[in-house]
């Protein structure tokens, strides 16, 4: 019983474990062929070791070998090895809910089983006994082990980290993520600029940059070959390359060519791309874009070549595929007016657009794309009238599909209908409806349908050819037609990818043949030629096998049994059918390994391509190979009244163009003759009513509209009939448009290109594709070439062009077949890697030698590293390579060349750079030593001179000391003699005084007598008796003696005295001596106290001197002064009919003075004294006055001073009234960014919000750091511009520091520059040779140290020399290092207008501090340009020419503006005076009428 209980208990446990069992999906990654996956039922506690054991048993693996279990998390981009004790079920619980049950591989979370020693385990973790993790690498050649699995794992790891680009040495592998990634903004173009390949992370911009700089360095043409199957992203990669190349190559040259190149892409995509099952934007034609450059690297033009447009897509498509994009753009995005004009219907109403379950889920995107197409066509040069003609033609092609055929009533034939469709079609094509209806009437219904479709396809193909021709004409540069002008180019090949659909026809056959040729070219360049060169040089090399597809190419195109040639033979036989063609294929190639036969009942054949087997349906092969319109259809279209239609059908564009010119000339002559005859007959003139331009424009099909558009549009034939009476109005209107600066329709294509020579040149460039025009010829003497023959010829021409250039390869890979975002399909990617031979490519790139030098090239490039006596001998080169430590396996020396691997070449280049830098340092050290020694010798010589002078001074001092001693001794002797004599004299004086004293005592007893000593001494004659001559002029007198007794005599100690006569009453100020005393008449008890009176002229003079001390500290005061002086001058002009000499000098000097004031507007914070202005005015008047007019100078100056005083009083009153608040609308430039509007050409992302910026939208881009954002995101910026300096107050150092350090928001211009320029403009404007002559070096050093002091004590040439020194000592030029070369390239442009446009475009990219300083400096040079004497002996350099362009252009603008201001001011003064006179006349007339009526009443 116990045994039964135990058994029952164990059974319950087993059942419980089964209920808790979990299913795990395991995907093996093994070398042997095993099942794609296996499902295991394990318990929750099963370890990784148990799961590996169970999976091995299920898959039948040899368990003696170790295996590892990997956890894959694609969202995180990692593969992690599970330890033996880890439980996989616990890891599954951490996954998203959708991936836990059965965890399919599409969810991105699953387990992988692989061998313990295998590769492919990815992740950042490793265990001691586990599988080593594979590190992420940018280059597939860096992988330690090269297998298909390791390459696939490396690409998968990078893909899930959003790194879609990977290098294989010089080859770029690009995986299409089916999602836009924000890595194509302008800052990435700047980041990869002039960087070697491999230094930064892989990017398509790096390939474009290397191709561009390789072209400039080697002066050889380059080519970028983009290959891959349909849906791999080739078209988008082409757009990225074009965007980067134009951004790199513009060099300040704007826009005309760049805009056209960037606009051509969307136009060609709209008309040549369509949505397929594999790709939403699949190219249904091939194109080769060749961008031409000047030797300086400036783009100058381009050529677009197209190959094999898939015309059958217009009338038939596979399931879930669409027609060409442009039809949906037009039908969904057209306005109501355009819908009425072109008679547009809904998309589902057109037979050519109908498909099963038709629904446009992306209608909003289609509307946006239609707007983008409009902008792109304008960029290319299509005028509105041309666009209307193109859209009208598209509508007519769609209406052709709606033409149906029904049995006639009599049953004898077919009738075309419906009637409304035929009527609309006739109106769109401008053909007669009866002819249009009868042309289809053939007995066979299928033949009629085929004819209709053939007509539609031919029209669309002709329209596409015309658009390509127009684009090439817009991209043409006139220098391209000159054979003597050298030209460099970069070609970009974007050709259709390999295709394998459910139903493959003639188009897929041609497309896959083109891919076979490209694969052969790739194999030849990478494998065959490379290994052949190794063998020829005799180096040790083990041959790497690769799959050669030459046999498949011979199968298709080799004469005489190639499939193409058999197809042409059958196409020429009238009795042949598609079945006979298939039988001939099988009969000729049944033994060919690349031709796989099919069963007899299956109308198809299979070809073994390099990418796999493809089955082609033989149906319609012959028809598509000879697809062309019947001659009667061609004749019908040529009878159209629409000239545009005749251009499309014309077989030779040059002939059509010439015939159009001839026809227009004949019609113009006839119009003039008839107009002249009508003028000669009066009766005809009266009866003929001339229509106005407005009336003619209101006509629906106005002849004026057609002819006026022909004058401006790019057309070859304008043969429409025009009323002769309107020719005169037409020419008058055209001349008016030419003279008008703001013409509405601007001619975008240069006029000098609109000739038959340029058109012939373009047709000659694309001659290989013009053979299809012969299909439209109505009378063919010989049969036109077949479509396959044309395609082979154009493809051979293409490969010949590509073969002449140095190629760069980009391999595009489709990540998944469902077009899902960021999904990596291992099987699909591995299949593409396998058939493209990626493993062999990486192997030869890793084992091969990328760097090759001939012995002579090696010696020239690395001569610095070699000894002086080194030659081109291999021994010297080998010694050098061994000396720098290169391994024997990293290089080889052949018979004539040196082979190096890429890493070793970079190491050798770095060693060369270090050695060159060492030599530079030695030269610098030697130069500094020579300079120091010269300074030492100079100082030594100065010290010797000082010592010599000091010794001479000491000797002279001793001599003078002896002289002083001798003089002192002689003086002592003389003084002794003097003292002795003085004592003797004193004794004699004492005796005499005693005697006189006694005599004085005796005389006191005698009577007194009056003394008149004072009056006698004064020398003045006074009548103290009150006579009429008692008042005289007085002048100050010095005192008789300084004794105090003088003051006691009643004299006043006044400084000056005025004795006033009665007549005349004049006050004379006298203030000369401090010792002047007033005179008082004898007998007066009080002294005379005169008053000091100053005349009115003296008082005004003192007020003037006081007002002139005022300073101008605001630019508004300068403007007010300029306006005030202008009003005074205009008033003087209008008031005086004839000016006197003084007034003429005043008028001329004041106008020149106003120009000086205008030159000071750029000063942000001026400090200008009126005294300085007055001094400058006086100098100007002195220079203007002739010798005979020097007497008038003071009068003119006094007149101007009185005018200036009136202005100053007004300014003082305005200042006392208080400041006026002015709100300034300053442009928002957050955090020192320099934003400008930027038209986006490829989809980009906003650097702030991360959302998309669609093509042709407007965005804001910082020209310095290349930050790009929406307008609404400007307020979100929190990071300052990376190329700017932080704001701050300028420090004490003004020389040798960056401009941005010296500037701030308060000081936009460096203060030291502002001060010096102001001083030069105020004091030295008329100095000869201001900047040519140099000032005193000693004074310059003093001024350099005393920048804060006044500079009036220094000469003008000293200040200007210091300005030049400040510019020389800048660590970075004002034009900045990053833009310096762009300015130099701008000067090298051929046309002067292009130079000017390029220079001013680059000025906008300067930092604000540099721009403001340069603007102030150029303004200063413009104001002083007549006084700068250039040295014409030496030719100017490029930068001098650049500055000269700026100065001349600014001077021209300055002169024009001044002239306009003068004219406006004079006109304003005249108007004011006339209004005043009218007002006075009106008042006088009113008063007269009033008084007259009053007198009448009285």
The tokens for 578 are 């598609």
233 is in an annotated binding site: yes
CA distances from residue 980 to 186, 973, 975, 976 in whole angstroms, order as listed: 108, 11, 8, 6
3-state class (DSSP) for residue 1121: helix
The tokens for 385 are 């009238």
Four-residue CA torsion sign, 1079, 1082, 1086, 1090: negative
Q: How far apart, in whole angstroms, are the C-alpha atoms of residue 643 and residue 634?
A: 14
231 is in an annotated binding site: yes
3-state class (DSSP) for residue 1140: coil
The tokens for 572 are 């020429």
Q: How far apart, in whole angstroms, are the C-alpha atoms of residue 164 and residue 1219?
A: 63
Q: Are 200 and 191 in contact (CB under 8 A)?
A: yes
Q: Position of tokens 């002794």?
A: 976
Beta strands in 1108-1198 (DSSP E): 1111-1112, 1168-1169
Secondary structure of 624-646 in HEC code, one letter for each residue: HHCCCCCHHHHHHHHCCCCHHHH
1155 is in an annotated binding site: no
Torsion of CA 765, 766, 767, 772, to 10 degrees: -170
Secondary structure of 1248-1316 in HEC code, one letter for each residue: CCCCEECCCCEEEEECCCCCEECHHHHHHCCCCCCCCCCCCCCCCCCCCCCHHHHCCCCCCCCHHHHHH
Element (H, E) at 513: helix 506-523
Q: Are 441 and 415 in contact (CB under 8 A)?
A: yes
Q: How far apart, in whole angstroms, are the C-alpha atoms of residue 572 and residue 785?
A: 11
234 is in an annotated binding site: yes
Count of positions (residues) in the chain: 1498
229 is in an annotated binding site: yes
3-state class (DSSP) for residue 1245: strand
Q: Are strands 299-307 and 1111-1112 parallel, antiparallel or unpaired?
A: unpaired
228 is in an annotated binding site: yes
Q: Are 1056 and 1071 in contact (CB under 8 A)?
A: yes
Q: Pick from 1430, 1243, 1401, 1323: which is nearest to 252 by CA?
A: 1401
Q: Tell me the sheet residues that pair with 172.
A: 167, 810
Half-sphere exposure of 564 (CA within 13 A, CB side): 22
Q: Are 1442 and 1343 in contact (CB under 8 A)?
A: no
Q: Tell me the sheet residues that pair with 168.
A: 171
Q: Are strands 488-494 and 222-227 parallel, antiparallel or unpaired?
A: parallel
Q: How buried is residue 677: exposed, middle or buried, by Cβ count under 10 Å (0-12/13-18/19+)?
A: exposed
According to DSSP H, which parts of 718-786 are helical?
Answer: 727-739, 756-765
Residues 6+ apart with CB under 8 A from 837: 523, 546, 547
Please state the φ and ψ torsions of residue 741, each to the nearest 5 degrees: -80, -30
Q: How far apart, in whole angstroms, are the C-alpha atoms of residue 650 and residue 777?
A: 8
The tokens for 1239 are 């038209």
Please state the φ and ψ torsions of residue 282, each to the nearest 5 degrees: -85, 135
Q: Are 206 and 200 in contact (CB under 8 A)?
A: yes
Q: Are 485 and 306 in contact (CB under 8 A)?
A: no
Q: How far apart, in whole angstroms, are the C-alpha atoms of residue 548 and residue 1086?
A: 138
The binding site consists of: 228-235
The binding site for ATP consists of: 228-235
């Amino acid at each position: 019983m116990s045994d039964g209980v135990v058994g029952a208990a164990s059974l319950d446990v087993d059942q419980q474990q089964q209920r808790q069992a979990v299913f795990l999906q395991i995907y093996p990654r093994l070398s042997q062929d095993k099942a794609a996956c296996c499902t295991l039922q394990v318990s929750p506690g099963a370890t990784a070791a148990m799961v590996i054991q169970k999976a091995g048993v299920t898959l039948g693996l040899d368990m003696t070998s170790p295996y590892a279990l990997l956890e894959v998390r694609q969202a995180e981009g990692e593969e992690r090895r599970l330890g033996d004790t880890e439980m996989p079920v616990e890891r599954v619980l951490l996954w998203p809910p959708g991936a836990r049950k059965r965890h399919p591989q599409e969810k991105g979370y699953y387990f992988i089983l692989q061998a313990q020693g295998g590769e492919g385990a990815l992740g950042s973790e490793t265990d001691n006994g586990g599988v080593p993790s594979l590190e992420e690498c940018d280059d597939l050649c860096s992988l330690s082990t090269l297998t298909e699995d390791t390459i696939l794992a490396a690409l998968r790891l990078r893909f899930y980290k959003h790194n879609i680009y990977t290098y294989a040495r010089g080859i770029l592998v690009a995986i299409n993520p089916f999602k836009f990634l924000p890595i194509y903004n302008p800052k990435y173009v700047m980041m990869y600029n002039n960087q070697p390949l491999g230094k930064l992370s892989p990017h398509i911009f790096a390939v474009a940059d290397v191709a561009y700089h390789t072209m400039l360095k080697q002066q050889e043409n380059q080519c970028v070959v983009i290959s891959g199957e349909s849906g791999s992203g080739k078209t988008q990669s082409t757009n990225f390359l074009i965007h980067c190349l134009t951004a790199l190559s513009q060099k300040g040259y704007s826009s005309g060519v760049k805009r056209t190149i960037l606009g051509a892409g969307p136009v060609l995509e709209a008309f040549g791309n369509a949505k397929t099952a594999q790709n939403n934007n699949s190219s249904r034609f091939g194109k080769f874009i060749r961008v031409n450059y000047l030797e300086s690297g400036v783009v100058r033009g381009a050529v677009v070549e197209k190959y094999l447009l898939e015309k059958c897509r217009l009338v038939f498509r596979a399931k879930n595929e669409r027609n060409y994009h442009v039809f949906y753009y037009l039908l969904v995005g057209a306005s109501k007016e355009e819908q009425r004009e072109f008679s547009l219907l809904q998309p589902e109403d057109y037979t050519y657009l109908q498909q099963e379950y038709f629904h446009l889920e992306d209608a909003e995107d289609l509307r946006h794309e239609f707007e983008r197409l409009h902008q792109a066509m304008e960029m290319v040069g299509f005028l509105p009238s041309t666009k209307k003609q193109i859209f009208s033609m598209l509508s007519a092609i769609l209406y052709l599909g709606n033409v149906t055929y029904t049995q006639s009533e009599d049953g004898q034939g077919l009738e075309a209908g419906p009637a409304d469709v035929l009527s609309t079609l006739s109106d769109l094509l401008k053909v007669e409806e009866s002819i249009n209806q009868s042309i289809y009437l053939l007995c066979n219904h299928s033949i009629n349908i085929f004819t209709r479709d053939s007509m539609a396809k031919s029209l669309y193909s002709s329209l596409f050819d015309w658009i390509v021709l127009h684009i090439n004409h817009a991209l043409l540069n006139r220098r391209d037609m000159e054979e003597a002008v050298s030209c460099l180019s970069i070609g970009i090949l974007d050709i259709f990818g390999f295709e394998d659909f459910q139903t493959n026809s003639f188009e897929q056959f041609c497309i896959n043949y083109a891919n076979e040729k490209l694969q052969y070219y790739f194999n030849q360049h990478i494998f065959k030629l490379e290994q052949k060169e190794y063998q020829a040089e005799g180096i040790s090399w083990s041959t790497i096998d690769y799959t050669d597809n030459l046999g498949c190419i011979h199968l298709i195109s080799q004469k005489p049994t190639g499939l193409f040639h058999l197809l042409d033979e059958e196409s020429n036989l009238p009795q042949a059918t598609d079945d006979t063609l298939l039988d001939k294929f099988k009969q000729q190639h049944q033994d060919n390994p690349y031709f796989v036969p099919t069963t007899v009942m299956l109308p198809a054949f299979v070809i073994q391509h390099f990418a796999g087997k493809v089955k082609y349906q033989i149906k319609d092969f012959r028809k598509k190979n000879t697809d062309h319109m019947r001659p009667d259809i061609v004749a019908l279209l040529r009878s159209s009244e629409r000239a545009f239609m005749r251009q499309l059908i014309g077989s030779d564009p040059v002939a059509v163009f010439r015939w159009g010119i001839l026809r227009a000339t004949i019609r113009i002559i006839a119009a003039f003759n008839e107009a002249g005859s009508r003028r000669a007959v009066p009766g005809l003139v009266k009866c003929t009513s001339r229509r106005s331009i407005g009336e003619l424009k209101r006509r629906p099909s106005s002849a004026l509209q057609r002819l006026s558009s022909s004058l401006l549009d790019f057309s070859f034939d304008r043969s429409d009939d025009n009323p002769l009476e309107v020719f005169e109005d037409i020419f008058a209107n055209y001349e008016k448009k030419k003279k008008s600066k703001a013409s509405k329709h601007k001619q975008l294509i240069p006029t000098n290109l609109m000739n038959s020579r340029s058109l012939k040149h373009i047709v000659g460039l694309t001659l290989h594709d013009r053979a299809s025009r012969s299909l439209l010829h109505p009378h063919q003497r010989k049969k036109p070439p077949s479509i396959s023959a044309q395609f082979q010829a154009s493809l051979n021409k293409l490969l010949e062009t590509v073969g002449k250039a140095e190629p760069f390869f980009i391999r595009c890979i489709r990540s998944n077949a469902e077009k899902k975002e960021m999904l990596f399909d291992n099987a699909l990617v591995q299949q593409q890697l396998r058939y493209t031979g990626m493993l062999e490519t990486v192997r030869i790139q890793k084992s091969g030698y990328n760097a090759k030098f001939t012995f002579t090239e090696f010696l020239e490039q690395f001569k610095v590293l070699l000894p002086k006596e080194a030659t081109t001998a291999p021994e010297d080169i080998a010694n050098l390579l061994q000396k720098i430590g290169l391994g024997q396996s990293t290089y080889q020396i052949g018979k004539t060349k040196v082979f190096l691997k890429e890493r070793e070449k970079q190491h050798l280049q770095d060693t060369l750079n270090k050695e060159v830098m060492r030599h530079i340092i030695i030269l610098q050290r030697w130069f500094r030593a020579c300079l120091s020694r010269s300074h030492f010798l100079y100082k030594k010589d100065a010290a010797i001179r000082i010592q010599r002078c000091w010794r001479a001074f000491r000797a002279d001092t001793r001599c003078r000391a002896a002289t002083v001693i001798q003089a002192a001794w002689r003086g002592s002797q003389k003084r002794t003699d003097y003292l002795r004599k003085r004592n003797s004299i004193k004794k004699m004086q004492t005796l005499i005084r005693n005697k006189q004293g006694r005599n004085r005592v005796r005389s006191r007893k005698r009577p007194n007598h009056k003394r008149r000593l004072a009056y006698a001494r004064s020398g003045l004659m006074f009548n103290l008796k009150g006579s009429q001559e008692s008042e005289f002029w007085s002048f100050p007198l010095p005192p008789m003696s300084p004794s105090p007794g003088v003051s006691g005599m009643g004299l006043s100690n006044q400084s000056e005295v005025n004795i006033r006569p009665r007549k005349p009453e004049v006050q004379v100020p006298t203030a000369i001596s401090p010792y002047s005393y007033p005179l008082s008449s004898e007998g007066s008890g009080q002294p005379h106290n005169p008053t000091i009176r100053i005349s009115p002229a003296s008082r005004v003079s003192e007020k003037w001197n006081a007002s002139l001390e005022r300073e101008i500290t605001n630019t508004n005061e300068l403007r007010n002064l300029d306006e005030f002086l202008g009003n005074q001058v205009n008033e003087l002009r209008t008031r005086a009919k004839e000016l006197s000499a003084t007034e003429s000098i005043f008028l001329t000097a004041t106008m020149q003075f106003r120009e000086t004031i205008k030159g000071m507007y750029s000063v942000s914070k001026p400090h200008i004294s009126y005294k300085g202005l007055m001094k400058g005015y006086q100098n100007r008047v002195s220079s203007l006055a002739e010798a005979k007019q020097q007497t008038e100078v003071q009068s003119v100056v006094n007149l101007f001073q009185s005018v200036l005083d009136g202005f100053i009083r007004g300014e003082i009153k305005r200042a006392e009234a208080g400041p006026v608040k002015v709100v300034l609308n300053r442009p928002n430039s957050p955090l020192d960014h320099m934003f400008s509007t930027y038209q986006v050409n490829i989809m980009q992302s906003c650097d702030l919000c991360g959302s998309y910026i669609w093509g042709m939208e407007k965005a804001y881009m910082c020209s310095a750091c290349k930050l790009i954002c929406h307008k609404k995101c400007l307020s979100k910026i929190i990071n300052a511009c990376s190329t700017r300096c932080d704001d701050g107050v300028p420090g004490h150092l003004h020389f040798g520091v960056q401009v941005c350090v010296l500037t701030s928001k308060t000081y936009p211009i460096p203060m030291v520059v502002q001060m010096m320029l102001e001083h030069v403009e105020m004091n030295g404007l008329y100095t000869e040779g201001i900047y040519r002559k140099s000032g005193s070096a000693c004074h310059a050093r003093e001024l350099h140290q005393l920048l804060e002091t006044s500079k009036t004590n220094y000469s003008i040439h000293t200040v200007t020399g210091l300005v030049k020194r400040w510019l020389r000592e800048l660590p970075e030029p004002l034009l900045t290092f990053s833009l310096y070369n762009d300015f130099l390239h701008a000067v090298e442009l051929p046309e002067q207008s292009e130079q000017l446009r390029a220079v001013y475009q680059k000025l906008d990219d300067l930092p604000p501090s540099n721009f403001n300083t340069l603007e102030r400096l150029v303004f200063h040079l413009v104001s002083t340009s007549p006084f700068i004497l250039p040295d014409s002996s030496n030719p100017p350099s490029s930068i001098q020419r650049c500055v000269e362009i700026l100065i001349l252009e600014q001077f021209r603008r300055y002169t024009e503006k001044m002239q306009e201001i003068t004219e406006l001011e004079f006109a304003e003064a005249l108007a004011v005076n006339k209004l005043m006179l009218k007002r006075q006349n009106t008042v006088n007339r009113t008063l007269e009428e009033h008084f007259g009526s009053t007198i009448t009443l009285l």
